[in-house]
Chain A
């Protein structure tokens, strides 16, 4: 393995001594899933980060996928459902077949960038080999909505919230932290990533305060003003950053650079 490959493995989170694998050795056939990202691996192969409905995130080697005329070329595209077959039980499984299923409109323009963002969130926040069927369905619904020209911010907030819930950080948007006191639309709050919302005293002015209305609207997913939509975005960013633990999101950075052009 050369340096570039080692870097790719590291980028894929597969560096270091192989962990004792929990995955069974048997073959898996025709599993519905998506390509999240691919990395070059040797002159002719790819490492494919897949996200499947029944097995969660599964990394695979697609041998010969970079050869001219490889049947895998058209199939290993992001944002299109694919039927994956693979074998092996190591950290890196062997892709044996990938079939294009289709049926989704495909992403274009800004929606395409939103798709890259969703993929990066899944790559950075979801553990390997853990099935998250509900999140998978949510991902698929998000792609469908983005491809159909759905309102992007709303789709992203809904997915971010579901992702946090799946990794064990469900948001409490209707009640104050550790209490049964309901959030009121007119109230001012501060949101602690692990505990939840706390109502602010009149004299308190933290760096990032959030209105009760925003919390309630984030809960329903329907935003009445651009201000609440923006606050919801900033709150989700704060919570995701907390989970990312200092790791930056490349898609967010590049999207900002593109907006400046």
Chain B
């Protein structure tokens, strides 16, 4: 195989879920059937890598210093919702019930994978939450053990600085029939039951 082709295959293998065979197939496809697409891909990658960086306020991907969401005057600056990924932020946006701002960790604490506080920008979050306008931080990390550990440490750090912290509620899903809800979720819903 030519040097350039080999280089391209190696590069494609850096994508998640792409092994040597898939990478080779992609490389052949681009060079044989879609040279225009290959050119487009190359330009798009180059542009994205040079233009996209983290928002100074919420840490999500943006091309400006501060992203559109953080710049939106209509949003409630007293609320700050902490999520693991931009995809999680999108889900919360889709609920149409949250009007505050966000902080995107771009990951979660995962001790066994060696992912610690430095990898999820906790210092930036503390600085962001202490801007004097935020009165409540809503922790919306996942309900996995790693997400819970992340929420616990953020909550300890922020409470020590006098910032009010809340956590997403969990329990039976909307339209959930108890007969079909998984027992783990139901057990949590019982533990977290509330007065009516």
Are the C-beta atoms of B182 and A113 separated by less than 8 Å? no
Scan residues 6-41 of chain B and give those whose CB is less than 8 A from a CB of chain A: 13-14, 16-20, 22
Most chain A beta-carbon neighbours within 10 Å: one of B19, B112, B117, B145 = B112
**A112/B149 contact (C-beta < 8 A), A74-B184, A74-B185 known:** yes
Among candidates A3, A108, A123, A261, residue contacting B112 with C-beta atoms closer than 8 Å: A123
What is the bound-complex CA distance between A255 and B18, given in angstroms? 34
What is the bound-complex CA distance between A3 and B14, given in angstroms? 8
Are the C-beta atoms of B111 and A120 separated by less than 8 Å? yes
Q: For A115, what are the chain B residues with a Cβ–Cβ distance below 8 Å?
A: 145
Are the C-beta atoms of B182 and A257 separated by less than 8 Å? no
What is the bound-complex CA distance between A79 and B148, given in angstroms? 13
Q: For A37, what are the chain B residues with a Cβ–Cβ distance below 8 Å?
A: 112
Q: How many residues of A contact B (CB 8 A)?
A: 38
Q: For A78, what are the chain B residues with a Cβ–Cβ distance below 8 Å?
A: 145
What is the bound-complex CA distance between A109 and B157, given in angstroms? 12
Q: Which residue on B lies nearest to A119, using beta carbons? A: B112
Are the C-beta atoms of A42 and B17 separated by less than 8 Å? yes
Q: For A119, what are the chain B residues with a Cβ–Cβ distance below 8 Å?
A: 112
A1-21 interface mask toward B, CB cutoff 8 Å, 1 = contact, 0 = none? 111110000000000000000
Are the C-beta atoms of B114 and A43 separated by less than 8 Å? no
Q: Is B79 among interface residues, defined by CB-CB distance under 8 A?
A: no
Q: Is A71 among interface residues, defined by CB-CB distance under 8 A?
A: yes
What is the bound-complex CA distance between A255 and B110, given in angstroms? 11
Are the C-beta atoms of A257 and B118 separated by less than 8 Å? yes
Are the C-beta atoms of A102 and B145 separated by less than 8 Å? no
Known contacts A77-B145, A112-B145, A254-B114; 4 additional CB pairs below 8 A are A3-B14, A113-B149, A117-B111, A257-B117
Listed A/B pairs (10) with beta-carbon separation below 8 Å: A2-B16, A100-B184, A102-B183, A102-B187, A106-B188, A107-B145, A112-B149, A250-B112, A255-B111, A257-B118
